[in-house]
Amino acid sequence: DPAQLEMLVRGLEQRAIRPFQNALPDKPWWLEVNNNWLTCIVGGLGVAGMALDGLHPDARGLVDFATPRLERSLADYGPEGEFNEGIGYAGAIGLMTDYYTALLGWSDGRENRLASAPFPQMARWFISMTVPPGHLFSFGDGKLNAPLKADWMAAIAAAAQDSVLQDFAVRFRSVNADPVQLLCLDPDLQPRSATGRLPLGRAYRAHGACVSSRTSWDWDKTACVVGGKARREDNHEHNDPGQVVIYGEGRPLIVDWGTHGATYPAGFFTENRFRYFDTQAFGHNVLVFGGRDMASCYELHPRFTQGALHGKRALHAQGRIVSAEFDDTWGGRWTIDTAPAWTGVKRNLRTVLHVHPGIVIVLDDAELEQTETISLRWNTIQKPQLTADGAFVLELDDVSLAAQVISLDGQPVTHRLGNQHYTAPWNQDQFGIELPARDCPYVETLLTSDRCRLLALFAVQPGNRTTAWSRQKNTLSGLSGDTSIEIELSADHVIVRSASHHRTWQL
């Protein structure tokens, strides 16, 4: 009906096109950023322009305005496809994918941008950041165990004719898919498992500098997945450089709580973001010095230095991945330097060793400018049992975790259980409504010194009974599945031996 079509066009003009055009002379902040505001607003108007081509005089102008700005945003992704915001917002890749899917159709197939970088790379990065049975790591402004938003993957799989991406897209299709995304699924592209086609471990150095190591690509119950990161992102970030999380049999064990699953806390997009324990370093399984939080990483936009910090960039006080190696036959090892993220810290190195299936060893080596308190909290999915000096266990229905924390240099330390929760006035959402309570357990190791060498040992074990780490003089033994590990300790080195893998590592 021509009248209905005219009504639709005029409605879009009045409610979308004209307000958008009227805002442009004021140079709104969302024009200058490379995040989901740009893809949603500018990209959305570009898609509207494609739909209205031949029906509205400004249609092509909207496309011409949007495309170079979305290309600018794509250029901000990392060289290996690293998403340029916190992992919890990586579903926003779908907004970018939807734009170029529409462009592909609008150009009659001449603009197959989805087949070229960074789209296939960002899809593989996303897969590496996914843990069984279908969640992203909850780093930054993520939600622990939130469902995936990956229906956009089918469009990239079809464009690139990538069978591994197709397997992921088919496996994680959802009822929330955009109808256009459903139409992108190529029925002739045969899905193929990531096994043998994607490495089990990867270290990505851009943006959040995230690390992932897993024992297999089994999406039902991988024996163990270890995640980590070295940097903070421009948007939706927490103070989490150095983070380590551990999953076993598809269950989170050592966790990142992410942001609350309800609405945003009050002041979350201002300088008050880090008033909440789940955004602070204390909530992220890292050394904390003198009870203070990490230094600010922000470079503020000159127009937004108070209130909502639109357009900020994470350009300061960052960590880095010093080294990383992975081998599908035994696991992975990486070292992260986060000293620049702290004031008063000369050295802060964290080395992580993941030995298949589920042995995880974390060595923290720090030196401070002066003597002060040093805290290491391991956040656990449920209240653990503190069984001995520095030893604790988690026992879930189908998986367990045996852990041990040791001071290698012989300094006196204390170990205790605790819980983190919101405290007034920082327990309200952005509408002034009290946030649902969070009661998040942890095991804390404490000392007072100007240096420390703390070793944390974890053994993921199937079933609901744990076999604790045992010690004979300076040698510890641990068990994960059929793999036994021996660890020889001294003040200046840690030697790890695995007879199952015929390997020895020195930390």
Chain-centroid distance of CA 318 in Å reads: 16
Is 340 exposed, middle or buried, given 0-12, 13-18 or 19+ CB atoms closer than 10 A? Answer: middle
Whether 90 is in a domain gets the answer no
Whole-angstrom distance, CA of residue 42 vs CA of residue 471: 61
Whether 34 is in a domain gets the answer no
C-alpha closest to that of 95 among 34, 145, 137: 34
pLDDT > 90: percent of the chain: 90
CATH number, domain with residue 437: 2.70.98.70
Bond into 357 cis (ω within 30):
yes
What pLDDT band is residue 110 in, cutting at 50, 70 and 90? confident
- Give the mean pLDDT of 429-444: 93
Total tally of structural domains belonging to the chain: 1
- Give the mean pLDDT of 95-113: 92
Whether 99 is in a domain gets the answer no
- Give the mean pLDDT of 158-173: 97
pLDDT at 273 over 90: yes
pLDDT at 166 over 90: yes
Flag whether the pTM goes above 0.75: yes
Say what the pLDDT of residue 492 is.
Answer: 83
- H or E element at residue 67: helix 59-75
- H or E element at residue 225: strand 224-229
What pLDDT band is residue 177 in, cutting at 50, 70 and 90? confident
The contacts found for 306-313 with CB under 8 angstroms, 24 or more apart, are: 306/270, 307/270, 308/269, 308/270, 309/269, 309/270, 309/271, 310/29, 310/30, 310/33, 311/29, 311/32, 311/33, 312/234, 312/235, 313/234
Whether 48 is in a domain gets the answer no
Say what the pLDDT of residue 109 is.
Answer: 82
pLDDT tens profile 368-377: 999 999 999 9
What is the β-pairing status of strands 440-462 and 359-379?
antiparallel
Say what the pLDDT of residue 377 is.
Answer: 99
Say what the pLDDT of residue 497 is.
Answer: 98
Range of the domain at 216: 201-506
- Give the mean pLDDT of 358-383: 99
pLDDT at 491 over 80: no
Q: Which two tokens stand for residue 303?
A: 């127009």
- Give the mean pLDDT of 252-275: 91
What pLDDT band is residue 262 in, cutting at 50, 70 and 90? confident
Whether 112 is in a domain gets the answer no
pLDDT at 440 over 80: yes
Whether the CA torsion 29, 32, 36, 37 is positive or negative: it is positive
Whether 3 is in a domain gets the answer no
Whether 118 is in a domain gets the answer no
What pLDDT band is residue 263 in, cutting at 50, 70 and 90? confident
Q: Are 240 and 281 in contact, with CB atoms under 8 Å apart?
A: yes
Say what the pLDDT of residue 179 is.
Answer: 83
pLDDT tens profile 409-418: 999 999 999 9
pLDDT tens profile 210-250: 999 999 999 988 999 999 999 999 999 999 999 999 999 99
pLDDT tens profile 52-80: 999 999 999 999 999 999 999 999 999 99
- Lookup result for tokens 């074990």: 461
Whether 56 is in a domain gets the answer no
